[in-house]
Structure 1
């Protein structure tokens, strides 16, 4: 007989408490909770992210089927363009190629959008949320009080001597080899930057510290505005607790012409890498044409946050039914 038992009994009550604390955080700030579809007619084209295709056995939904959403970003932006005001959602999302101690193909994602915020203001709010939530239960671990805020290019230069905006793929591969990093397959420039940051730089982050990385290369932020301070960069940030990435946010792009240009760049990169090309979302462009208000948005992994609060190092210890037992 198979072992039918759920896996995360020790974190079940903490998860319920965390969800209540998150909802309380936004209720106190007047941010509206919304719901959007898990299954959509299109999905993201970001080469760093693979979507799950869904097809009903009876053909419902048409021959093309649909796509399980990697985040609620696109429909939430349609709500913003429709005048929703500040909104948040705790959604179930799906991503291919992600399974292991820090990844589960299906997971809980907290996503929110704030009108009148830019990327730096929203990053500060993420830190406030982490600190307030951690303080809600004396048994939970808390991050260090002062985060480090550093630009992506500056950190790569500081740790590896890499010029994130100008070094080519061959130079980045050589730096990886010097560090003993072996990567199978052929990588383009952005993939090498990702590998160097995630495998050579981030593991050195102090365990209790929150680190905010900002000003990512523009090629790694299809839906972020250009940085006002650094040419070649976009107004994107990521938040880490120790060496665990928790959140990814943007000062949101509102220009539909620029969005179309970047979308075609992502298509081209997928083709060059031999990746499948999913159906693009058919509605976001129209929302941008209608007018997306000035806002910043961020997505935060709820399961990963729970890992940090409980001091767990394996996501399967905070999910009752991880992949393989779902």
Structure 2
């Protein structure tokens, strides 16, 4: 152990900038009469996403069932929406197992908000207003479809091409061996390794209209060419993903089916089975209002605004010093 391990991973000037950022965020939502809420970070249920692993904890009241540290406040916030909360936001810690690196820390700060009666395009406008204010920028953000991103980079339509085409392109560009026959795995690889580092270098950019197979908790619709696409977006700046937003799925039965599909894929991947959250499904059955929601990484936004190289530089004590 070195003498410096006890010291913070972030400079004092950055911690002051962080405090200013949190104040700016709260002022932004207060001005729009959006309610700040606080939901449990320790809960009975977690996400079923096959590619996301939650941290577990002992049952705090002595029973045998395990609890989870939440990967996002999404499920609990949707229960509030179904209870009639109206527009809400939350600034909180979130936790994801195995995520550590230049842009990741297992414990991180998330900003999540939901707007009843908004679609994802209206929410993109609001995300742009907030991020522009933080970055002190008056340049309009770019918007480009997932299809056009891949057409520009590789001259392929990601919606209509087959898996073998994407696999061949990935193997031409990357020295990697991956045993997968899922087209989305290869698309995600190309996006992460080749495309993302170039996104939003000059001006932040929204990517829209993801494949329907990547809809997660978003609604699916037909685009102008008759292809099913997910009504969701991601925001990038300086090659860093800052935000992920949806025109939220409100159909409880469709959500139940997606949870079941997640479980099937978890079995294929030999990942632990995660019970679908019955509280969320009950809330959706009661009536989740039409809404759009977004999760934004506060630490990453601070990275971009302060021109820092790693997420550790934005956190008082990164995981190696916690």
Structure 1 residue 6 corresponds to structure 2 residue 2: no
Deviation at 1:40, TM superposition (A): 1.0
Deviation at 1:318, TM superposition (A): 0.9
Instruction: Name the counterpart of 2:117.
Output: 116
Deviation at 1:47, TM superposition (A): 1.7
Deviation at 1:87, TM superposition (A): 0.1
- List gaps (5 residues or longer) in structure 1: 136-141
TM-score with structure 1 setting the length: 0.93
Instruction: Name the counterpart of 1:260.
Output: 256
Q: Give the 3 Å change call, closer, same or farther, for CA 197–27 of structure 1 in structure 2.
A: same
TM-score with structure 2 setting the length: 0.94
Deviation at 1:168, TM superposition (A): 3.2
Deviations 1:256-315 (A, max 9, x none): 111112111111112112222223222110011000111100000000000001000111
Deviation at 1:198, TM superposition (A): 1.2
Instruction: Name the counterpart of 1:25.
Output: 28
Q: Distance in 2 between matches of 1:28 and 1:254?
A: 28
Native 8 Å contact 1:104 1:315 kept in 2: yes
- List gaps (5 residues or longer) in structure 2: none
Instruction: Name the counterpart of 1:248.
Output: 244
Deviation at 1:165, TM superposition (A): 1.9
SS in 2 for 1:283: helix
Structure 1 residue 174 corresponds to structure 2 residue 168: yes
Native 8 Å contact 1:254 1:291 kept in 2: yes
Q: Distance in 1 between matches of 2:251 and 2:318?
A: 39
Q: How is 1:142-291 mapped onto 2 (pairs within 5 angstroms)?
A: 142=137, 145-186=139-180, 188-229=182-223, 231-291=227-287
Native 8 Å contact 2:47 2:276 kept in 1: yes
Q: How is 1:128-143 mapped onto 2 (pairs within 5 angstroms)?
A: 128-135=129-136, 142=137
Q: Distance in 1 between matches of 2:221 and 2:207?
A: 13
Structure 1 residue 105 corresponds to structure 2 residue 106: yes
Q: Distance in 2 between matches of 1:13 and 1:107?
A: 17
SS in 2 for 1:25: helix
Q: Distance in 2 between matches of 1:61 and 1:278?
A: 21
Native 8 Å contact 2:263 2:274 kept in 1: no
Deviation at 1:232, TM superposition (A): 2.0
SS in 1 for 2:220: coil
Instruction: Name the counterpart of 1:314.
Output: 310
After superposing the two structures, state which structure 1 stretch, 183-192 or 91-100, moved more. 183-192
SS in 1 for 2:221: coil
Native 8 Å contact 1:222 1:263 kept in 2: no
Instruction: Name the counterpart of 1:138.
Output: none
Deviations 1:204-236 (A, max 9, x none): 225231110111112212211113535321101
Native 8 Å contact 2:243 2:295 kept in 1: yes
SS in 1 for 2:278: coil
Q: Give the 3 Å change call, closer, same or farther, for CA 62–171 of structure 1 in structure 2.
A: farther
Structure 1 residue 52 corresponds to structure 2 residue 55: yes
SS in 2 for 1:250: strand
Deviations 1:107-158 (A, max 9, x none): 00000001111011101111110111223xxxxxx4x712211111221122
After superposing the two structures, state which structure 1 stretch, 211-220 or 104-113, moved more. 211-220
